[in-house]
Structure 1
Amino acid sequence: MSDQAVLTEIKNGVAAVTLNQPDSLNALSIEMVKGLTRTMHELKHDASVRAVILTGSGRAFCAGGNIKGFSNVTTAAGGRKYMQDHTDFLKDLAQMEKPVIAAVNGHAVGAGFSIALACDFIIASHHSKFALGFHKLGLVPDLGGLYHLPRFVGMARAKELAFSDRTLSSTEAKEYGICLEVVEAERLLERAHELAATFAASPTIAIGLAKSILNQSFESSLEDTLRQEAMVQGIAFTTEDHKEGVRAFLEKDKPTFTGTYS
């Protein structure tokens, strides 16, 4: 499964997805959006994939939207259609019921920052930078940036970053809770694969069910969450991973999870 603008390699249950237009700092070209849309849809439904890594080739993770193409948008309806064409992959990325790790290897700017925020975890290299960047173009943060950023940093900090377009270093991003870890550049993909391997060996279905509730937790009441937990726990009880976990616990053994139902 590959595309010129988006490359995918699947090994041992981990899908490594690379944005592959380094000459443009992996800005979102039409080809890249099409590649991401196809790739995320396929990975979402591929039961053999139990964790995903998203990174960029070259010096940047993703430099955001293709600014040269903005001049083609001349009406509000055209702008809305432009954005709608970009949202399918983002929804599949954010709602995928398996862990997704952004390995940010350089600048994550504008839509690139939003894409990283849509992942479950961000691991960044020391020289990475993060910025919304829309303010300078007279635009509004998009691709879910206004949804995910407050969940990482709180509302006041999210407003400050959105209104000022201030650039964050990787160290600041970690202090704000945006990055899970910051590592040396040469260790970035190695660390991302270590974390992904841990998730790939975990009970995939249970993780996906928990993620589906966590993604809604800010909008749900306690009663809603308790009801959702009961529903998904009923599903989790039917999995082979649950049976394997109980067996391993009783036999004082290490479980081998397969991510399958009974």
Structure 2
Amino acid sequence: MEPFLVERAGGVVTLTLNRPERYNAVTAEMWPDLLSILREVAASDDDRVLVVTGAGDAFCSGADMASIAGGERAAPPLTVMRRVGEAALALIRLPKPTIARVNGVAAGAGANLALACDLVIASERARFSQIFAKRGLSIDFGGSWLLPRLVGMHKAKEMVLLADMFSADDAAAMGLVNKVVPHDELDEAVADWAGRLAAGPPLALSLSKQLLNDSLTSSVDQALDAEAAAQAYNFSTGDVREAMKAYFEKRPPEFPGR
């Protein structure tokens, strides 16, 4: 069974972690494959949105502890963790909008895989945990950078040091999740947002994502200069010309992405 499934339709790429019998836990060998898929999506003009999800009843339970306990040594631990970091950075920096479709448990690196996406839509059955401490591990897959920015430092420390499990509603109340929906409405909700993003102006969306990601480490002066440069570039594109034409013709725009 392939550990990842990749499906494409209408500009939307759906990346499914495909180890349902292990709650989609990730082995050491899977990180380079994930990085390769993310780089492929980043380089494709046809791929406009990435949806990340898990097969079966789970999103991703994190690292495959069974394979680690069984003596798996694909590479030295530091090498493996650098590959984890490369995959996390590739997802966070992906120049396309990303949606996490959280259909079940998202724990450890699996929780941070979801949080590294731009938008998170969760089933009412979803659960989230920074479970690392219960496995004798410290936080990874970018969680030390993501969590304080999403929930504040004290809440981030509570989540990481106590390693409790949170419901989807609790996660939404903390600002970790954009939307919680009934389980049987999850696909519809994800398809709606993914379709809207795929129909949007890809260059402008990519630039807006970068501006927002950079804002937390930028001064207001730097942010305004970056906005000006991005907007000047947008005005030179066919996307803006198409938007103006569609406005006057009273129809939805069809952005060419160039």
TM-score (norm 2): 0.94
Please give the alpha-carbon distance, in whole angstroms, between the structure 2 residues aligned to 1:152 and 1:188. Answer: 23
Among 8, 12, 35, the alignment partner of 2:10 is: 12
CA distance in 1, matches of 2:26, 2:252: 43
- Deviation larger for 46-55 or 152-161: 152-161
Runs of 5+ unmatched residues, structure 2: none
The Cα shift of 1:31 comes to 4.4
Which region of structure 1 is more displaced relative to structure 2, 106-115 or 210-219? 210-219
Are 1:110 and 2:117 an aligned pair? no
User: Does 2:255 match 1:257?
Assistant: yes
Moved more, 23-32 or 97-106: 23-32
Higher mean C-alpha displacement, 7-16 vs 61-70: 61-70
Match for residue 148 of structure 2?
A: 150
Question: How many Å separate the matches in 2 of 1:207 and 1:17?
Answer: 20
Which residue of 184, 191, 194 corresponds with 2:182? 184
Matched, 1:26 2:38: no
- How many Å separate the matches in 1 of 2:104 and 2:238? 40
Is contact 1:21–1:27 with CA below 8 Å preserved after alignment? yes
Report the aligned-residue RMSD. 1.8
Contact 1:73 1:79 in 2 (8 A): no
How far 1:30 moved relative to its partner? 3.5
* Deviations, residues 105-133 of structure 1 (Å, cap 9, x unaligned): 10000000010010001111111100010
1: CA distance, partners of 2:2 / 2:64: 17
Query: Given that residues 63 and 111 in structure 1 are in contact (C-alpha distance below 8 angstroms), is that contact kept between their aligned partners in structure 2?
Result: yes
Structure 1 Cα separation of the partners of residues 105 and 15 of structure 2 = 17
**1:217 counterpart = 2:215:** yes
Q: CA deviation at 1:50?
A: 0.7
Instruction: Name the amino acid aligned to 2:234.
Output: A
* Pair 1:137-2:135 in alignment: yes
Letter in 2 for 1:227: D
Q: Which segment is superposed worse, 9-18 or 178-187?
A: 178-187
What is the identity, as a one-letter code, of the residue corresponding to 1:231?
A
The answer to whether the 8 A contact 1:53-1:193 is kept is no
Q: Percent identity at matched positions? A: 37
Aligned length: 256
The change in CA–CA distance for 1:31 and 1:5 in structure 2 (over 3 A counts) is farther
In the alignment, which residue of structure 1 is the partner of 2:232? 234
2:153 maps to amino acid: M
Cα deviation for residue 73 of structure 1 reads 8.7
Counterpart pick for 1:171 among 166, 169, 172: 169
- Post-superposition Cα deviations, 1:4-35, rounded to whole Å, max 9, x if no partner, equal 11001111000011100111111012443233
Retained in 2: the 8 A contact 1:203–1:257? Answer: yes
2 CA distance for matches of 1:151 and 1:250?
Answer: 41
1:10–1:73 distance in 2 versus 1, CA, 3 Å:
closer
**Separation (CA, whole Å) in 2 of partners of 1:226 and 1:146:** 27
Residue type at the aligned position of 2:12: V
Gaps of 5+ in 1: none
After superposition, the C-alpha distances for 1:21-76 in whole angstroms (9 at most, x for unaligned) are 111111012443233122111001111011111100011100001223445599xx
Which secondary structure state, in structure 1, belongs to the residue aligned with residue 229 of structure 2?
A: helix
Partner of 1:97: 95
CA contact (8 A) 1:5 1:31 kept: no
Q: Which amino acid aligns with 2:43?
A: H
| Cα deviations by residue, 1:153-202 (Å, 9 ceiling, x for unpaired) | 12221111111111110010111111111111122122111110000000
Aligned mates of 1:141, 1:73 — CA distance in 2: 20
Confirm or deny: 8 A CA contact 1:110 1:132 kept in the other structure: yes
Is residue 2:202 matched to residue 1:204?
A: yes
Aligned-residue offset at 1:88: 2.2
**Contact preservation (8 Å) 1:123, 1:192:** yes
> What's the secondary structure of 2:216's corresponding residue?
coil
Which whole-Å CA distance do the structure 1 matches of 2:30 and 2:83 have between them?
Answer: 12
